[in-house]
Amino acid sequence: MEKKALLYEGKAKKIYTTDVENIVWVSYKDSATAFNGEKKAEITGKGELNNEITSLLFQKLTDAGVKNHFIEKLSATEQLVKKVDIIPIEVVIRNSVAGSLSKRLGMDEGTELEKAIVEFYYKDDTLGDPLVTEDHIRVLKLATLEELQTLRTLGLCINNVLKEHFAQCNVRLVDFKVEFGKTSDGEIILADEISPDTCRLWDAETNQKLDKDVFRRDLGNVTDGYNEILKRLGGLSCTK
Ligand code: C5P
């Protein structure tokens, strides 16, 4: 497979076309951003860690029957994925209160939710990715009601798989964001990445943060937590 033209450059990844139709080449960057790009840094090694962690988690989801774009990991920072048209809706699943939900509802961070919450955000940098309701999504024509139901069902299904998997690695999956895309034949599949950049991951015993909140909140060395997650997902301390 050959890497061809740069198709898109985002905050954390570059996407290239390949010589094969409907397959794209993803390259993970070391850039870290937060607060809609207001806070920026280069964190050496983050691209490798996210590529490795995302590859492991997408493989886990494939094994569990969740259709997704992942094909294979090519190198430390690169992977091949199926080309999709990304649906401009960020799907957030929450098992515990944290971050913006804590602020919005005035609830303490860490409060466990009896049932997982699903939220939709409009993926639009100029608007700051606002929280949107079903009616907003209808007005903006971002997805049909049926598609929205699919996103919700898939989001909860992904949560079931990942929550259990992380629990076995002694990690609490507090919340996470996923994105979906449509393949050339119109099927909705999981896309983008699932990594400590897009999840809140806490040590199950101490609640120590092992995710991007370390960067957002200046809590210390960012890659220490990411390395710990990688070790637990593939290393000796993971019982699976
Ligand atoms: O900030 P908030 O509490 O809404 O984030 C919920 C979850 O979604 C967190 O795990 C966060 O890392 C993730 N997220 C993301 N990209 C965004 C917004 C949130 O990965 N643009």
Question: How high is the pLDDT of residue 222?
Answer: 97
* pTM tops 0.95: yes
Instruction: Choose the CATH number for 85-221 among 3.30.470.20, 3.20.19.10, 3.30.420.40, 1.10.287.3510.
Output: 3.30.470.20
DSSP string, 155-205: HHHHHHHHHHHHHHTTEEEEEEEEEEEE-TT--EEEES--STTTEEEEETT
Confidence at residue 237, expressed as pLDDT on a 0 to 100 scale = 34
Cα of 115 to ligand 1 centre, how many Å?
18
Domain ranges of the chain: 3-82, 85-221
For residue 240, what pLDDT is reported? 35
| Residue to substitute in 96, 175, 180, 192 for testing ligand 1 pocket (most ligand atoms within 8 angstroms of CB) | 175
Residue 13 — left, alpha, or beta (φ > 0 → left; ψ -120 to 50 → alpha)? beta
Residue (of 34, 69, 65, 64) closest to 54 by Cα position:
69
Per-residue pLDDT in tens (0 to 9) along the chain, 240 residues: 999 999 999 999 999 999 999 999 999 999 999 999 999 999 999 999 999 999 999 999 999 999 999 999 999 999 999 999 999 999 999 999 999 999 999 999 999 999 999 999 999 999 999 999 999 999 999 999 999 999 999 999 999 999 999 999 999 999 999 999 999 999 999 999 999 999 999 999 999 999 999 999 999 999 999 999 999 999 433 333
Look at phi and psi of residue 234 and say left if phi exceeds 0, alpha if psi is from -120 to 50, else beta: alpha
Check: CB of residue 225 under 8 Å from CB of residue 214: yes
* pLDDT for residue 236: 36
Ligand 1 binding pocket (C-beta < 6 A) is 90, 92, 98-101, 129, 175-177, 198-200, 212
May I ask the CATH class of domain 3-82? Answer: alpha beta
Strands (E), 19-58: 23-28, 31-34, 39-42
What ipTM was reported for this prediction? 0.99
